[in-house]
Chain A
Amino acid sequence: MSALRFTEQPLSHWMKTTGAESDIVISSRVRIARNLLKHPFPLLATNQHLAEVQEELKEVLTDSRLKTFGELLPIELSQLDELNKKMLVEKHLISPNLANESRNGAVFISDDESLSIMVNEEDHLRIQCLYPGFQIKEAWEKATAVDDIFEDHVNYAFDDRRGYLTSCPTNVGTGLRASVMMHLPALVLTQQINRILSAVSQIGLTVRGIYGEGSEAMGNLFQISNQITLGQSEAEIIDNLRSVVLQIIGHEKAARERLINESRLRVTDRVMRSFGILSYAAMIDSKESAQRLSDVRLGVDLGLIEGITPQCLNELMVLTQPGFLYKSYDGKMEPGEMDTFRAKLIREKLGNSLK
């Protein structure tokens, strides 16, 4: 058994399908944090403790009810080389924290890759569900069902006043982080984005770049998630996020409409220039490629570019990350050649997709 099958393909099954509002919402993700009662949190636990935690959680995988979520493959982080870890991070199947800092860390990944269960990250157990498009409620329902099965076998650290106890005080209570990744090029182009994002942050939600904590927003992709985990029920958190995302979708749609009605020529020019650069450039860095791919995606959504599928763009989003890029060229790449290979890969993919 190997983790390789998850890094062979850049596209997870979920990325090949589309969900609701998938022209604006790329994906919906829910993560719930849980800890086992009798062990210290991973920060202070001994390796022995963490090995026991891993063992205990692995045993739960034998519960036949988990079969409904597909086959879950357990992978120990210690068995992975740096490149494969990096690629799992780039696919959002594991967190950078689990990849780099965990002791006795493991991950259980379902065959369609929509469910990944991290062991000994910052908390003992982190259940993550990833869905395409705007399906945050569906993601929560799946995560909570998986949570129920685990709870049947292990004793969670739970307090009737504070809820589920987590290592970091920012997760206590529900342990729930629900996030929606949105592509908002028209709001950025019409310079409304800052106003909207600052409004969002005033109502208990946060906005981040696509690789979570501390990453900048690249390619007009924004991750909107709940900040508050204590004092609101899971349903309230999900509903709150849903209604805010719906409003942002409305604003983005209106902004796109205005762009195409009022500045059709300028938008077409911008989109086509980016399409041209991606189709012919000899070198491109990750920041520029993210921006150009965002322009092309907008062009596809507005019907200005034909023959490119959203799936192709999703694939490029993952493939142009350093780990996957390295893998695509079989490790024959020198450090300075990253931009050259990235440009080559994009040229080929866009060319293939046009044929």
Chain B
Amino acid sequence: MLCQECGKRPASLHFSKIVNGEKSEYHLCETCARDKGELIPGTSGGFSIHNLLSGLLNFETVEQGKRASNPENLRCEVCGMTYSQFSKMGRFGCSSCYKYFNDRLDPLFKRVHGSTVHTGKVPVRVGGEILTKRKIQDLKRHLQDSINHEEFETAAQLRDEIRELERQISE
């Protein structure tokens, strides 16, 4: 088996990592393993969450590199950070990085958080529309419930409420 990092030398180090219950396997040659010393259990030196993360991200790039044409060219137009810089540092450069790297973030967030979409607090001033959207989702669930229970009067009320909110958003 060839090393998954360089793809040239034979892999001599095999290990698996379990993050949030998801198991991933790594097969590396000695040279690449040494370069990524922080990934090997039992080796000394700093081992921070950023090392670990950038480990995840680096492997991500290699795996995806086989499929996607040129992930190295991915670049945030606002702060100038490239995806490969991000994968080395494990940190975003600015809030727009989230937009420019968006296509690659779902697998990362899935691994780190087990989820990809925020469901918590929303800032009041900029979040008005988001709150309305969430409310519509809620009302739609209620609507479905009341239809299932054949409570058509409630359903009609809910339908009107949803229409009103949707009208507000489109304005």
Measured CB to CB, the residues of A under 8 A from B are: 35, 37, 39-41, 43-44, 122, 144, 147-148, 151-152, 155-170, 172-174, 176, 202, 204, 213-214, 228-234, 237
The 8 Å CB contact of A163, one of B118, B126, B129, is: B118
Complex alpha-carbon distance, A269 and B138, angstroms:
60
10 CB < 8 A contacts A-B: A39-B94, A44-B79, A44-B93, A151-B124, A159-B118, A160-B130, A162-B98, A172-B118, A229-B113, A232-B120
Most buried by A among B92, B99, B116: B92
B75 to chain A, nearest CB (A): 13
Q: Does B39 contact A (CB under 8 A)?
A: no
A168 touching B48 by the CB < 8 A rule? Answer: no
Chain A residues with CB under 8 Å of B115's CB are 228, 230-232
Q: Known contacts A168-B53, A214-B48, A230-B116; is A41 also within 8 Å of B93 by CB?
A: yes
With A160-B130, A230-B118 already in contact, the answer to whether A122 and B91 are too (CB < 8 A) is yes
Beyond contacts A40-B78, A165-B92, A233-B119: 11 other A-B pairs, Cβ-Cβ < 8 A, are A43-B89, A44-B81, A155-B126, A161-B117, A173-B118, A228-B112, A229-B113, A230-B112, A230-B115, A231-B117, A233-B121
Q: Are A169 and B118 in contact (CB under 8 A)?
A: no
- Knowing A169-B53, A174-B118, the reply to whether A152 touches B125 (Cβ < 8 A) is yes
Q: Does B68 contact A (CB under 8 A)?
A: no
Q: Is the CB of A156 within 8 A of B91?
A: no
Docked-complex contact A230 and B117, CB < 8 angstroms: yes
Interface of B is mostly: loop
B residues apposed to A, CB below 8 Å:
20-21, 46-50, 53, 78-79, 81, 89-95, 98-99, 105, 108-109, 112-127, 129-130, 133
Distance A176 CA – B125 CA, assembled complex (angstroms): 20
CA distance in complex: A129, B122 (Å): 20
B-chain residues with CB within 8 Å of residue A156 when the two chains form the complex: 123, 126
Q: How far is the CB of B99 from chain A (nearest CB, A)?
A: 8
Which residue of B has the minimal Cβ distance to A167?
B91
- From residue B96, how far is it (CB to closest CB) to chain A in Å? 9
Question: Which residue of the partner chain, among B48, B116, B122, B124, contacts A231 with CB atoms under 8 Å?
Answer: B116
Q: Please, which residue of chain A has its CB at the minimum distance from the CB of B21?
A: A202
Q: With A40-B79, A41-B92, A162-B98 as known contacts, state yes or no: A234 contacts B116, CB within 8 Å.
A: no
A232 surroundings in chain B (CB, below 8 A): 115, 119-120
Q: Hey, which chain B residues are within 8 Å of A163, CB to CB?
A: 118, 120-121
Contacts A152-B125, A174-B121, A213-B49 given; does A40 touch B93 at CB 8 Å: yes
Complex alpha-carbon distance, A167 and B97, angstroms: 10
A169→B116 CA distance, assembly (Å): 11
Q: In the assembled complex, how far is the CB of residue B64 from the closest CB belonging to chain A, in whole angstroms?
A: 16
Q: Is the CB of B79 within 8 A of A204?
A: no
Does the CB pair A173–B90 fall under 8 Å?
no
**Given contact pairs A169-B109, A234-B120, A213 touches B125 in the complex (Cβ within 8 A):** no
B residues less than 8 Å from A165 (CB atoms): 92, 95, 98
| Chain B residues with CB below 8 A from A40, complex form | 78-79, 93-94
Q: Is the CB of A233 within 8 A of B120?
A: yes
A230 touches B109 (CB 8 A): yes
A-chain residues with CB within 8 Å of residue B21 when the two chains form the complex:
202
Contact assessment for A159 and B98 in the assembled complex, using a CB-CB cutoff below 8 Å: yes
Q: A156-B123, A163-B118, A204-B114 are in contact. Are A43 and B93 (CB under 8 A)?
A: yes
